[in-house]
């Protein structure tokens, strides 16, 4: 594998440069004086931002984008071997590396390298930790899988020895990392187009935790099944967070306000005499955000951040984009957008919505990938049934083609059998018209999914 010397800038080309993680890496290299080019299938705010920073961006992935003076090519998991650029780089003998391999090499440059993993909650927890580190004037470098207003995007380039990133398990990419602090938020079935089953996923997370050196720490959710088996024999320090009374970091005296936001007393039970801290009041709704806040607080304590900064950071956090994001109001209807695309995430988002004030709860759901839809067909229906009304859009294929014979109509039929008011409307235009015709002032509308369903709410707000 090619190794980049970050002290000697050279010419690096990114295939899929508009991706949320790839763009962050490209921006970090630009800051270090590298010449950066890249390609993507479409223009976006991200590609335009990179161009302003000095990157050369080509729209469309073509063989001619590969030039002989490129020193290395970085590619994403979405790039297949039959891609024209991939084949051209291969034929030219240009060294190639995955996004994860570049990110792992970058982590080696930092004494405190924090990697936040888990089936879900990574972006929110990473964003919460970011707010804490900013409150503590830690000056971190951050790579987050969403847009965060406080850093003006998805990347922040600091000058300290602290680096924080998300760590995705898909294709075992996080096994290329070098964390000194690793968080494991949850371990659930997902990405079954790559993993065989839950046991295979658990093995992957175990291997990830084994990457943490003896002087480092793993911060892990106490709610994970068979936790002892998963962590047994790790050479590093293991710190548990969760809602169990004996979790080393847990919350007591939890209350929720009218917007569904929790406040709680943080408990640090690592010592024989537990320590109670001042009440923390979150600005984001739902029990899942409370769990993420506990993980962020635990990581912050490991990084020797004082409680005052932990409290300030968590209370300053108003959410990352596409994470239960209030988009606005149209005709008296509250429009929320959420990235949830796994049954557990849907349950968490709808549970958070249930704590808010509204007349009727409408959920517009766009399934993400055919394999995930097929694997969790029944689970999706059960999770979505928490809404008063469900509208299903066509599946967002992402990297896949339809070879499984599954569609959003399958979820719709299950919901109807369960007695849920469900509607299948394949196009966004149909959904938008239907919503304006049937929703009433005081209703809440949540657009939900990891694809482009956010456009529904944004288009409605323009009307």
Q: How far is CA 413 from the centre of its chain?
A: 30
Which of the pair, 297 or 152, is modelled with greater confidence? 297
The whole-chain average pLDDT of the chain stands at: 94
| pTM for this prediction | 0.86
Tokens of 404: 């499984």
What local confidence, expressed as pLDDT, does residue 14 receive?
Answer: 97
What proportion of the chain, given as a percentage, has pLDDT over 70? 100
Per-residue pLDDT reduced to its tens digit, 317-361 = 998 888 889 999 999 999 999 999 999 999 989 998 988 888 999
Give the model's confidence band at 99: pLDDT under 50 very low, under 70 low, under 90 confident, else very high: very high
Per-residue pLDDT reduced to its tens digit, 276-323 = 899 999 999 888 999 999 999 999 999 999 999 999 999 999 988 888
Segment 440-461 shows an average pLDDT of 94
What local confidence, expressed as pLDDT, does residue 403 receive?
Answer: 80
Phi, psi dihedrals of residue 166, rounded to the nearest 5°: -80, 155
What local confidence, expressed as pLDDT, does residue 355 receive?
Answer: 85
What local confidence, expressed as pLDDT, does residue 319 receive?
Answer: 86
Per-residue pLDDT reduced to its tens digit, 205-233 = 999 999 999 999 999 999 999 999 999 99
Segment 149-158 shows an average pLDDT of 92
What local confidence, expressed as pLDDT, does residue 233 receive?
Answer: 96
- Distant-in-sequence, close-in-space partners of 58: CB < 8 Å, separation ≥ 6: 37, 38, 39, 40, 65
User: In the predicted model, is pLDDT for residue 404 greater than 90?
Assistant: no
Residue 279: how many CA atoms within 13 Å on its side-chain side? 8
User: In the predicted model, is pLDDT for residue 445 greater than 90?
Assistant: yes
Give the model's confidence band at 371: pLDDT under 50 very low, under 70 low, under 90 confident, else very high: very high
What local confidence, expressed as pLDDT, does residue 59 receive?
Answer: 95
For tokens 């009307």, what's the residue? 463
Per-residue pLDDT reduced to its tens digit, 18-53 = 988 899 999 999 999 999 999 998 899 899 999 999
Give the model's confidence band at 398: pLDDT under 50 very low, under 70 low, under 90 confident, else very high: confident
Nearest to 146 by CA among 130, 114, 170, 124: 124
- Distant-in-sequence, close-in-space partners of 61: CB < 8 Å, separation ≥ 6: 15, 39, 40, 41, 79, 83, 84, 85
Segment 176-201 shows an average pLDDT of 94
Nearest to 21 by CA among 92, 99, 84, 81: 99
Count Cβ atoms within 10 A of the Cβ of residue 392 and give its class: 0-12 exposed, 13-18 middle, 19 or more buried. Answer: buried
What proportion of the chain, given as a percentage, has pLDDT over 90? 82
Segment 131-145 shows an average pLDDT of 96
Segment 107-112 shows an average pLDDT of 95
- Distant-in-sequence, close-in-space partners of 373: CB < 8 Å, separation ≥ 6: 367, 380, 395, 406, 407, 408, 410, 411
Which range (262-276, 285-299, 414-428) has the least confidence? Answer: 262-276
What local confidence, expressed as pLDDT, does residue 2 receive?
Answer: 87
Give the model's confidence band at 385: pLDDT under 50 very low, under 70 low, under 90 confident, else very high: very high
What local confidence, expressed as pLDDT, does residue 147 receive?
Answer: 86
Highest averaged pLDDT of the listed ranges 45-49, 266-270, 295-299, 437-441: 295-299
Cβ–Cβ < 8 Å for 120, 383: no
What local confidence, expressed as pLDDT, does residue 323 receive?
Answer: 85
What local confidence, expressed as pLDDT, does residue 365 receive?
Answer: 97
Phi, psi dihedrals of residue 96, rounded to the nearest 5°: -130, 145
What local confidence, expressed as pLDDT, does residue 273 receive?
Answer: 72
User: In the predicted model, is pLDDT for residue 274 greater than 90?
Assistant: no
Which of the pair, 240 or 285, is modelled with greater confidence? 240
């Amino acid at each position: 594998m090619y190794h980049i010397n970050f002290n000697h800038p050279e010419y690096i080309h990114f295939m899929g440069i508009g991706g949320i993680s790839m763009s962050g890496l490209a921006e970090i290299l630009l800051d270090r004086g590298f010449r950066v080019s890249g390609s993507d299938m479409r223009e976006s705010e991200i590609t335009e931002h990179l161009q302003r920073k000095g990157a050369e961006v080509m729209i469309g992935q073509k063989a001619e984008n590969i030039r002989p003076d490129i020193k290395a090519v970085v590619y994403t998991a979405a790039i297949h071997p039959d891609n024209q650029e991939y084949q051209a780089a291969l034929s030219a003998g240009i060294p190639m590396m995955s996004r994860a391999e570049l990110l792992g090499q970058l982590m080696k440059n930092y004494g405190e390298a924090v990697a936040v993993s888990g089936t879900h909650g990574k972006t929110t927890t990473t964003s919460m930790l970011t707010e804490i580190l900013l409150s503590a004037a830690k000056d971190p470098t951050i790579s987050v899988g969403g847009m965060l207003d406080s850093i003006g995007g998805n990347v922040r380039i600091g000058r300290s020895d602290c680096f924080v990133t998300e760590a995705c398990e898909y294709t075992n990419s996080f096994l290329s990392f070098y964390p000194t602090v690793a968080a494991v938020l949850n371990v659930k079935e997902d990405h079954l187009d790559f993993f065989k089953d839950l046991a295979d996923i658990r093995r992957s997370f175990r291997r990830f935790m084994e990457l943490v050196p003896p002087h480092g720490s793993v911060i892990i959710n106490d709610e994970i099944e068979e936790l002892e088996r998963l962590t047994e024999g790790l050479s590093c320090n293991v710190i548990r967070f969760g809602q169990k009374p004996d979790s080393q970091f847990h919350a007591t005296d939890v209350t929720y306000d009218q917007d569904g936001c929790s406040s709680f007393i943080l408990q640090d039970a690592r010592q024989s005499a537990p320590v109670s801290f001042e009440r923390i009041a979150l600005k984001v709704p739902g029990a899942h955000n409370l769990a993420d806040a506990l993980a962020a607080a635990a990581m912050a304590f490991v990084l020797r951040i004082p409680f005052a900064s932990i409290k300030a950071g968590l209370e300053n956090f108003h959410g990352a984009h596409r994470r239960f994001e209030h988009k606005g109001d149209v005709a008296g209807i509250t429009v929320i957008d959420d990235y949830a695309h796994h049954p557990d995430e849907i349950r968490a988002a709808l549970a958070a919505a249930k704590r808010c004030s509204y007349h009727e709860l409408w959920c517009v759901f766009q399934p993400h990938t055919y394999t995930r839809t097929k694997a969790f067909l029944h689970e999706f229906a059960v999770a979505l049934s928490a809404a008063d009304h469900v509208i299903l859009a066509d599946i967002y294929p992402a990297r896949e083609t339809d070879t499984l014979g599954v569609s959003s109509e399958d979820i719709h039929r299950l919901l109807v059998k369960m007695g849920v008011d469900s509607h299948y409307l394949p196009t966004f235009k149909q959904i938008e018209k239907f919503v304006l015709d049937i929703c009433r002032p005081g209703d809440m509308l949540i657009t939900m999914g990891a694809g482009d369903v956010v456009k529904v709410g944004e288009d409605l707000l323009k009307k």
